[in-house]
Structure 1
Amino acid sequence: MVSGLINANPIIYEKKERRSRTAPTALQDEYAVEPIDQQEIFDHIRDIKDPEHPYSLEELKVITEEAVEVDDQRNYVRITFTPTVEHCSMATIIGLCLRVKLMRSLPSRYKVDIRVAPGSHATEAAVNKQLNDKERVAAALENPNLLDMVDECLAPSYY
């Protein structure tokens, strides 16, 4: 494994069994009548790969289904994630991956709020500010190296 990792030996958790539902290839379109729910959002983001490890965010318990909030009536989704260590330098990248995955799959009417779990990161306020500022997110996605890293984390895995 690569040396110099922030968390060289993370705890790996078992993935939850997928419940029967259509495959999470795309979320509903702009005019869908059936509401989007917590399980649907979680199924869509659970396989995002960690930027440092060959595990999904679900396997590292960075995201859980309980940390997904959806208010379909108000077109609002909040994801609260927990980095594996409080000084994780990849927290912003993880949040950016979550945001990009939802930007690419949710209808545009949804407001997405990505947050670090309270007390789980040393620079929680700064990370939250970066992840929820449209201009900062747009600037980050203009960086080709950063975009490549995000795309790598979002790529389907076959392990």
Structure 2
Amino acid sequence: MSENLENINPKLYKKLDDREITVEEQDEDVADEFDAREIFDIIRNINDPEHPLTLEELNVVEQNLIEVDDKRNRVDVKFTPTIPHCSMATLIGLSIRVQLLRALPSRFKVSVEIAPGTHISEAAVNKQLADKERVAAALENSMLLGVINQCLAPKD
């Protein structure tokens, strides 16, 4: 198996502590806005397609690379592949997009991109991830959707 891995020994990072939930956040009568930490919490536990690790543990997703404009209903996520030639970058981006589309209200426009300067095919992958028809077509492919669902499945 290891001979097929692109990044045999990825660097691991410390996970953030769980978010403390405030009294205001628990009050159902108070409308609270989405913020970068909430979006991070939605995507942090996505499984890497090559390793039994999460995107947070590999530092592929970081809270400081997430922008939320609740008033304009926009969520922008940038992610950093573990290596500059990662062939799984599109799959990782699709997994992030699908997780957010499933978790967020439909009013949100979601943008998922590779962080600038972190991948050799950054422009091509970003173009694919931004193309709604290509994303929809990819999600109609049952094999690809199965792989994405494995990435999104909670760990045991």
Same fold, TM exceeding 0.5? yes
Please tell me whether residue 57 in structure 1 is matched to residue 55 in structure 2.
yes
Cα distance in 2 for residues equivalent to 1:62 and 1:46: 9
Please give the residue correspondences for 1:10-159 in structure 2 after superposition, counting only pairs within 5 Å.
10-21=10-21, 33-158=31-156
> 5+ unaligned residues in a row in structure 1: which ranges?
23-31
Cα distance in 2 for residues equivalent to 1:155 and 1:82: 21
Q: Greater Rg, structure 1 or structure 2?
A: 2
In the comparison of the two structures, how many residue pairs are matched? 149
AA at the equivalent of 2:5: L
Cα distance in 1 for residues equivalent to 2:140 and 2:3: 29
TM-score by length of 1: 0.90
Cα distance in 2 for residues equivalent to 1:81 and 1:145: 24
AA at the equivalent of 1:40: E
Cα distance in 2 for residues equivalent to 1:61 and 1:43: 13
Partner SS state of residue 55, structure 2: coil
Q: Which runs of 4+ in 1 moved over 3 A?
A: none
TM-score by length of 2: 0.92
Cα distance in 2 for residues equivalent to 1:147 and 1:128: 19
AA at the equivalent of 2:13: Y
- Structure number having the greater helix percentage: 2
Percent identity among equivalent residues? 58
AA at the equivalent of 1:152: Q
> 5+ unaligned residues in a row in structure 2: which ranges?
23-29
